Structures are given as C-alpha cells and as structure tokens.
Amino acid sequence: MTVAKQQGGGVQKDPQGGLAEVLDLILDKGLVIDAFVKVSLVGIEILTIDARIVVASVDTYLRFAEATNRLDLHAKGGKDLSEVVGGMTEGATQGGAKGKTKGMLDAGKEKWDEVRGERQSNREKA
C-alpha cells in the first residue's frame, strides 16, 4: 500500500511509506521503553507481524529461473534447438507456471496472517 505520491524526476515521492515500510521501522527502531522505565511499565500484548520476506529460497530461485526463461533475449548459440523444442512445449509449461508464480508472489509478499504474539511482558505494576 502506498500513500499519495507525486511524480518528480522519475522518483516517486512518498511522505510516509506503506505498512511494510512502517513495520520495518517502528518494530525494530526507536527507543526501547524498557531501557528507561522499569516500575510503571504496562505489559500490553503486542501483536507483531512477520512481514519479512525470505529472499534466498528455492521458491525465489524457481521464480527467477522462470522469469529468465521467459525473457526475450537475443540468445547466442544453441538457439535453433531451444527454439524448436521451446515452440512445442512453451504454451503448456509457461501457461501453468505463470499462474503458479503469480500466486506465490502474492502469497509471499505480505503474509499478514502470520500473527505471532511477541513480547508479552509480565511486569509488576506500580
């Protein structure tokens, strides 16, 4: 999700960033209250969401391979063979894989449903 943008020199300007951007910051950065306040802390349960994306995985590799396979390059060498074989099977393999790849991207991108209750501190109240 992105907030209102204005175009400028080909760079999108975004005052705040989307939820993923915000999560990245405010759950990891900022002053930690526990370091300063001991007695009167209220241990409210924080629901955090693991939105981090695993970049180097087999799924990613397969998607890269698929995307590379789809590239329209001026292939050098071995072109004849791959073109012939590719022409025969392209429709079947690509159609199927494309749908699958799309699905995986969507699922992997922002997995908000994996809510894990983190940091449920039980501190004494003042």
Residue where the block lists tokens 């983190």? 118
Contact positions with other proteins (CB under 8 A) in 23-82: 23-33, 35-42, 44-49, 52-53, 55-56, 58, 60-69, 71, 73, 75-78, 82
Residues 24, 25, 27, 31: what is their CA dihedral angle, to the nearest 10 degrees? Answer: 160
Instruction: Among 50, 99, 107, 109, indicate the residue that binds other proteins (CB under 8 A).
Output: 109
What is the spatial distance between Cα 11 and Cα 14, in angstroms, rounded to a whole number? 9
Instruction: Among 4, 91, 114, 117, indicate the residue that binds other proteins (CB under 8 A).
Output: 117
Task: State in angstroms the smallest separation of the CB of 89 from other proteins.
Answer: 5
Instruction: Among 4, 91, 113, 126, indicate the residue that binds other proteins (CB under 8 A).
Output: 126
- SS3 track for 55-83: CCCHHHHHHHHHHHHHCCCCCCCCHHHHH
Instruction: Among 50, 95, 96, 99, indicate the residue that binds other proteins (CB under 8 A).
Output: 96
Closest CA to 113 of 25, 50, 59: 50
Closest CA to 66 of 99, 98, 18: 98
Contact positions with other proteins (CB under 8 A) in 1-20: 8-17, 19-20
| Binding of other proteins by 107 (CB under 8 A) | no
| Residue 25 vs 107, nearer CB to other proteins | 25
Please give the size of the binding site for other proteins, defined by CB under 8 A: 77
